[in-house]
Amino acid sequence: MLKEFINIIKDHIEYRSQIFKLAKADLVKTYRGSALGWSWAIIKPVITIFVYWFAFSIGLRAGKGVNGYPFFLWLIAGLVPWFYIGDMITGGTETIRKYRYLVNKMKFPISTIPTFVSVSKYMVNIILLVIVGIIFAFFGYAPDIYYLQIPFYILLSFIFFTSWGLFSSMLASISKDFANLVKSFITAVFWLSGILWNPDTIKIVWLKKVLMVNPVTYLVNGFRNCFINKVWFWEQPETLLYFIIVTIIMIILALWSYKKLRKEIPDVL
């Protein structure tokens, strides 16, 4: 697998300019034809946030403050990172089929396709994270030194879910059933990852550890550590170690699928 890893790195270096151009093109393609254009990249998440805030704060009356912060701020600190994560879990799975013409007609390196899609989706998410910071400042919580670790969590999530995109899109190119399976599990991942509820409230130690093995839980909690909890990533070495191990496993799976399927995919597509 070392050979495949080196080849993937070489492809990314050689096609680095094309990756960013295609990421921009992917953004344009996503919002082309709508009157509001790129505004939908902001409008859709805002509507989603409002619905969850209304449901928990007004409807269920369960939106109590967390660590001295209003529930709304706690909600957006974890929900905004999920928009990228959720898009990559489902959208990343369909990248190669979506851009099959790059494989069949242009002979574009397969390994770089999930990467430019991931870059495209994170462009929007970074803008949303900036808006989150502005909202916190509006509520009287000015940026502090803990914001410096936001790029660290951005990098971790990018590495993990770009690797996931390569692994899942390779399998989905061979079997549509795999893509349907991923779509069927996305709701469960959302509700079990501590996005709308606080995992720290769980009293059962073993269950809490199992949840923290979930990379989505770790990343969402990591962004909340920047905005809400004011905790450095090295202050939670156990959960960081869990995430690193799961990420290494994901990279190995991505390399394995790339090695086994890259020659078959052009014929299948």
Instruction: Return d(Cα 182, Cα 8) in angstroms, integer.
Output: 25
Rounded Cα–Cα distance for residues 269 and 266 (Å): 5
From residue 85, give the alpha-carbon distance in Å to each of 12, 43, 101, 159, 195. 22, 18, 26, 11, 11
CB of 261 closer than 8 Å to CB of 172: no
Residue that the structure tokens 């599990």 belong to: 185
Residue 236 gets the label, from left (phi > 0), alpha (psi -120 to 50) or beta, of beta
**Residue 111, SS3 per DSSP:** helix
CA 69/CA 93 separation, integer angstroms: 36
Per-residue pLDDT of the chain (269 residues; tens, 9 = 90+): 777 778 888 888 888 888 888 888 877 777 665 555 566 667 777 787 777 777 766 655 555 667 778 888 888 898 999 999 999 999 889 888 888 888 777 677 888 989 999 998 898 889 889 989 988 998 888 889 999 999 999 999 999 999 999 999 999 988 888 888 998 889 888 888 888 887 777 777 777 777 778 899 999 999 999 999 899 999 988 889 999 999 999 999 999 998 888 777 776 66
Amino acid at 82: W
- Number of domains making up the chain: 1
Domain with 143 in it: 2-268
Question: Which residues are CB-neighbours of 32 under 8 A, at least 6 positions away?
Answer: none
- Give residue 225's pLDDT: 94
At residue 266, the pLDDT reads 72
Measured distance CA(243)–CA(67) in Å, rounded? 25
Distance CA 259, CA 170 (A): 10
Q: Render pLDDT for 116-145 as a digit per residue (tens, 0 to 9).
A: 999 988 988 898 899 899 889 988 888 899
Residue type, 49: I
pLDDT number for residue 37: 58
